[in-house]
Amino acid sequence: MPNSIITRTGSYIPTVRVPNSDFLKHAFYDSDGMRLTKPNAEIVEKFQEITCIKERRYVEEKLKTSDIAFMAAEQALDGVDRETLDFIIVAHNFGDIQAGNIRSDMTPTLAARVKHKLRIKNPYTVAYDVPFGCPGWLHGIVLANYYIKAGDAKKVLVIGAETLSRIYDPHDIDGMIYADGAGAALIESTDKDAGILSHVTRSDTFNELDMLNLNKSYNPDHKENELFLKMKGHEVYKYAVKIVPEVVRESLEKAGLILNDVKKVLIHQANEKMDEAILKRLFKLYQTKDIPEHIMPMIISWLGNSSVATLPTLFDLMQKGKLHNHILHTGDIAVFASVGAGMNINSVVYRMP
């Protein structure tokens, strides 16, 4: 049975830099529509302390999600015959949203639009979307692995792209978390003893369904009939810190490995303090207090949370030598993990080819 390896990667980092100071002029409200009384400088300072985000990137007004998905794909396919792709999977959650018009546009699918932009003529290059919350790109990797192991594919392009700057509520302090970006990976069949070793996927919808949802603006004077991305931050934090480490351990056990075998833990860039708490609890599950330095690379401080794009962007930058002290070599074991709306969690154990 063939294995699945990542052979090429690409990413698109938007050009518009948005520092935390840009939010000093915002009018913030709570979920009851009451204006926050704390000075914005204090709100922004506390936000940075909790999340470690100093700035984030937004796309230019002329770009949409499918555009930046295509740009990341172009990088990942450099030197590859595009007509040989069996699948193009695009993970996102809100489709194409034009600047100044909060309306999701998902017909045709973003994957179909990316295939069109890539000028692929092959009708058997199947293109479809995966809306799976922030773990969407990682879920696309899982699907690619299934296709390859079943013998139905040899090359699958998996993209994660999002423009959260178009759908956050400017009157909600959680809006400072969100960013834009795109990342892509080419997954190929191989006979090497490498690639995806195991995965565990979990969906909690009984009590956790609306931890992330779409709802009206917190500003009671906002009269437009628009829905914005909303998050129950404290509940998400508690859920992620408790459940993500358990799923990661399950995936390692499934691969016949232990935590000491892992060189890097690559976690969705949601909130640096939360990711650190997840890592700490993961090591606690293995009764280990000493966490190796440089085991968890982070890019959220300057890129923010771009949902499905954080993991592929992180991996692309790391493997291209753009993250100090972080790189994976042949034989190294990495764990990819992500948590997001649903609530959904994915953990994938991967051995570098």
Residues 254 and 293 in one domain: yes
Residues 323 and 184 in one domain: no
Nearest to 338 by CA among 346, 326, 328: 346
Inter-CA distances, 244 with 118, 177, 248, 256, Å: 36, 20, 6, 19
Nearest to 282 by CA among 291, 273, 269: 291
Residues 243 and 116 in one domain: no
Residues 224 and 174 in one domain: no
Q: Is the dihedral of CA 74, 77, 80, 84 positive or negative?
A: negative
* Residue appearing with tokens 């400072």: 176
Inter-CA distances, 195 with 110, 157, 250, Å: 27, 15, 18
Residues 325 and 244 in one domain: yes
* pLDDT for the residue 15: 96
Q: What is the pTM of this model?
A: 0.95
Q: Which domain holds residue 45?
A: 3-193
Residues 296, 14: Cα–Cα separation, whole Å: 23
With 90 as the cut, is the pLDDT of residue 4 above it? yes
Q: How confident is the model at residue 224 (pLDDT cuts 50, 70, 90)?
A: confident
Helix/strand/coil for 84: helix
Phi and psi angles of residue 125, each rounded to the nearest 5 degrees, phi first: -85, 100
Are 304 and 57 within 8 A, CB to CB?
A: yes
Of the candidates 168, 193, 218, which is a domain's last residue? Answer: 193
CATH number, domain containing residue 338:
3.40.47.10
Strand partners, 121: none
Residues 57 and 161 in one domain: yes
Residues 6+ apart with CB under 8 A from 245: 278, 281, 282, 284, 285
Residues 321 and 234 in one domain: yes
| Angle, alpha carbons 116-118-119 (nearest 5°) | 65
Residues 145 and 216 in one domain: no
Residues 175 and 306 in one domain: no
Of the candidates 143, 161, 193, which is a domain's last residue? Answer: 193
Total structural domains in the chain? 2
Of the candidates 193, 224, 251, which is a domain's last residue? Answer: 193
Q: What is the pLDDT of residues 12-66, one digit of tens each?
A: 999 999 999 999 999 999 999 999 999 999 999 999 999 999 999 999 999 999 9
